[in-house]
Every structure is written in C-alpha cells, then in structure tokens.
Amino acid sequence: MAFFVWDSQTQRYFNYLILSASALYLIYRIFKRKQRTFELVGNVESLYSFPVKSCGGVKLEFAECTKLGLKYKDVTDRQWLIVDSNNKMIDLKSKPRLWLVKPRITDEHLILTAPDMIPLKLPKIIHSSADNTTNTLFYRLYGDDIVEAVDCGLEASQWISDYLILPGTRIVFSAPDLPKRDITSIPRPWKNNAKKGDMSVFSYMTPYMLESASSLDEVNQGLENPAEMLRFRPGIVITGSKPFDEDTWEYIQIGDDNLFRIVEPCRRCIITTINPNTGIKDKQVQPLKHLRSIRCRKPYGQSPCFGIYITLDSTGGDCMIRVGQPIRILRR
C-alpha cells in the first residue's frame, strides 16, 4: 500500500498553488472593477448645510464640494461648535432646543437667530493668530476625541449662554490654519472604507451625509406620523433610487466631476426623535423605535442604519454640486 508523504517539497508546491490562486483572484477582481460602469440611479433633490454643529440648517440650491464638506459663500458645513464651561461639546442630545438656532449666510457674516434672542453676527473666518484677544484652546468632541478651535469671543458666549440658560457656554470655530481630524483615527469595531487623509472637523464621521428620499418613504410607511428628512440632518438628499439601494453602493458620482466614496452607514440615535420645528423629543421615541425594528444590521449593533457617510475622493473642473444633478453609482 502506498502512503502519501507530506515533505518540504510538497509544502513548497502547496504554497505555490495558494499564491498562484490568490494572484489570479486579485487579477480577476481588478479586471472586474475596471469593467464596471457607473449606473444612473437618480438626482439631487436637495442640499443642506449645518454651519454650527447641532443647530438648524440652511437649505441650498448649490454649493462647492470641498474635502471638509459643502461650502457656500465661504461658510463650510459644521465648522462651528458649541461647548460648555468644561470645554466639552454640547449637542442636541442634551440640548434639543439647539434645533431652533437658525443660521443665515450673508456676504459678510454668519448670522444666528433663536426665539426671543437678538440676532448674533459671527465673522465667517477667524484665524488662530488673528489678534491677541483670540483664544485657541482644545475641546472635547466625542469621548477622548480632542480638537483644537478658536473661541468666537465674549459676545457670542453671552448670546448662547443666555439662550441655553447655561453660563459659561461658548461658540468656537475651526480656523483654516488649525489641524483637522483624520477619520481613520475614529475607533470602529468593524471595518469601513475610510482612508488615511480623509479629514473632518466637527462631524461625527465624514463631512458628508447622503440620504435617500425613497428610503425615508419606506420608513414612513410604518409610522403613524411621517418623519421629515430634516430629522436625519442630511447634507445631500437624492431622489429616484430604490429604497435602501444605497446599502449596495461603493462610489457615487454627482454631476460630471465630483466622485464620493462611501465610508459606512450612519447609525441613528435619539436625535432623530427631536422635532426640528419645536426642539421637542417625541414621547413615543419615533421614528427611532420603528427604525430599530427594520434597520438594525450586522455588524452595526442595536443602532439602526439610515443614510450613508460619504467622503469626497476627487473633483474635476466643476466642483459645484447643484439640485437636479444626476446621481451615478458603482456597486460593491
């Protein structure tokens, strides 16, 4: 009877076969990727910017695409932050009335309005070395995530402190010359598509949030009181795609020149239960409760997914994004 002997020569042959098979598979994947073509799935329905994190937004018809988010009249999305006297971020979870702080962008200023408050004018740009009265400090954003920002001054501090009835509250700004956050440094228990050099400022993850109108329609079929899109604080809203088709996308082309990479889905929290028009949380915990019943996905735990975090990979001659532009995608 003959016996099979596994010796060093057999091991070498086996290793060679494994390496050859791996190389062939890699070549196949590269070939298939090159063969893929962009697929038209819809159009841009609306655009929003939220200059001050956790405050109200501005609806736009067009904006410039930058690595740090949508930019309109020199104001970029989520470049301002509200912090308490301990230098910790204040957000909608603890102060839902922040929804009622509404921004307006003029040629000269970012203007904030709020119920029973005189409008506050903020300069669009503050450089960290602008003058001796400017304070550049470190602030706690999420957990142990520390960011550097410029204090917007005493008038801004008094205004937001009075509105929130919280002494010592301040508004700070991410000056252009200060470091930004690399999103690959944000801890995740799952693998995502972030790459070194993907930058963000005060956003939780990427500077762009894309959401689908048809996906919201699907969610609203299970709700007694339909939720409006603003509850999910979108940057880019698209129409025309199938509900939750965005779960299968890898790249998004908006217009002819702006290419975005999908990083990961957005896991939703209690903020979705706050009415943007009143700043009051829904007593029935909707739409979050319903989302938990239909949109919890592995490996993202018990927080339901709605919308996708995307980042700008490249932009060409026309870096503007406009309502009505076509949306083309590559699937995974």
Spans of all domains in the chain? 39-331
Could you tell me the pLDDT band of residue 316, with boundaries at 50, 70 and 90?
A: confident
What pLDDT is recorded for position 108?
A: 94
- Give dist(CA 80, CA 51) in Å, integer: 6
Please state the pTM of the whole predicted model: 0.87
Q: What is the pLDDT of residue 9?
A: 66
Structure-token pair, residue 180: 């930004």
Q: Hey, how many other C-beta atoms are within 10 angstroms of the C-beta on 42? A: 18
Q: Quickly state the pLDDT bin for 134 (edges 50, 70, 90).
A: low
Give the Cα separation of 102 and 56 in Å (integer).
5
pLDDT-derived band at 21 (thresholds 50, 70, 90) equals low
Q: If we measure between CA atoms, which residue out of 177, 172, 178 comes closest to residue 153?
A: 172
Which pLDDT value is given to residue 10? 62
Whole-number pLDDT of residue 141: 76
Q: With a cut of 60, say whether residue 252 has pLDDT above it.
A: yes
CATH architecture type of domain 39-331: Beta Barrel (2.40)
The proportion of the chain whose per-residue pLDDT surpasses 90, expressed as a percent, equals 78
Q: Is the pLDDT of residue 4 over 60?
A: no
Q: Over the range 117-152, which residues count as b (16 or more CB within 10 Å of their CB) and which as e?
A: eeebebebebebeeeeebebeebebeeeeebebbbb
* pLDDT score for 318: 80
328 falls in which pLDDT band (50, 70, 90)?
Answer: very high
- Give pLDDT tens digits for 180-238: 999 998 888 999 999 999 999 999 999 999 999 999 999 999 999 999 999 999 999 99
